[in-house]
Amino acid sequence: NDQLNITEKNEKSDELLTNRVERTNDIRETARQGQKRQVGEFLRNTAKRHKLVDLNVGDNVLIPVPDVDRGPTDARNVLAVVMEIKGDKYKLGVEQGIINAYYSFHQLSKATGTPTILVKNVDQGIKKSLTEVVKLQSVTGGQGMLKCSCKGGCTTSRCKCKQAKIVCNSRCHNSTTCLSWPMAMI
């Protein structure tokens, strides 16, 4: 009788274990199918957005400018022209020169209306960063924050603050002393 009870208990625990394994496998399969569905939706949406952009050489685009790179009165976007397309990356130019980075389609938005910047108007001999372009196009001179990281106490003409004839501030070399500071006060 005890042997029969033990056998029944073993059969029940085997059955419970089998059911648990089957449920776990079902849950895993459902999750796998959900992931495949999500990947398909993501790829379809990405392809749709890429088709909507459909940029060509000579098209005008808007590049969003990060808050840290622009002053309070500066534009939120820089108007640029597509200079070159390499794969799915775009080389852009502005009147001040070529921006020295490639952008992907999701970083840009196509400017509506007639193109105002033409490829022939871009100075192709000069490469600039987006921050430099923003500063050049700014009405107020850009974000207005200069900082140096001089290790020699700002005594040479390499110091950005000394070149701009401004006093070093709290953003500059906070661990070393500035030797040009007393001279700037005179």
Same domain, 68 and 126: yes
CA atoms within 13 A on the CB side of 134: 23
Q: Are 93 and 115 in contact (CB under 8 A)?
A: no
* Length of the chain as a residue count: 186
Q: What is the pTM of this model?
A: 0.53
What pLDDT, on a 0 to 100 scale, did the predictor assign at position 106?
82
Question: Is residue 84 located within the same domain as residue 133?
Answer: yes
Q: Note whether 66 and 20 are same-domain residues.
A: no
Give dist(CA 178, CA 161) in Å, integer.
11
Helices (H), the chain: 2-53, 130-137, 160-163, 181-185
**Same domain for 32 and 93?**
no
Do 126 and 71 share a structural domain? yes
Task: Name the residue range of residue 33's domain.
Answer: 1-53
Domain C-terminal end among 17, 38, 53: 53
Q: What does the pLDDT look like over 59-110, one tens digit per residue?
A: 999 999 887 777 777 888 999 999 998 888 899 999 989 999 999 888 888 8
pLDDT tens for 137-169 read: 877 666 666 667 787 778 787 887 778 777 776
Tell me, yes or no, whether 6 and 22 share the same domain. yes
Q: Radius of gyration over alpha carbons of the chain, in Å?
A: 31
Whether residue 168 contacts residue 154, with contact meaning beta carbons closer than 8 Å, is answered with yes
Average pLDDT, the chain: 81
Q: How many CA atoms within 13 Å lie on the side-chain side of 161?
A: 23
What's the structural domain count of the chain? 3
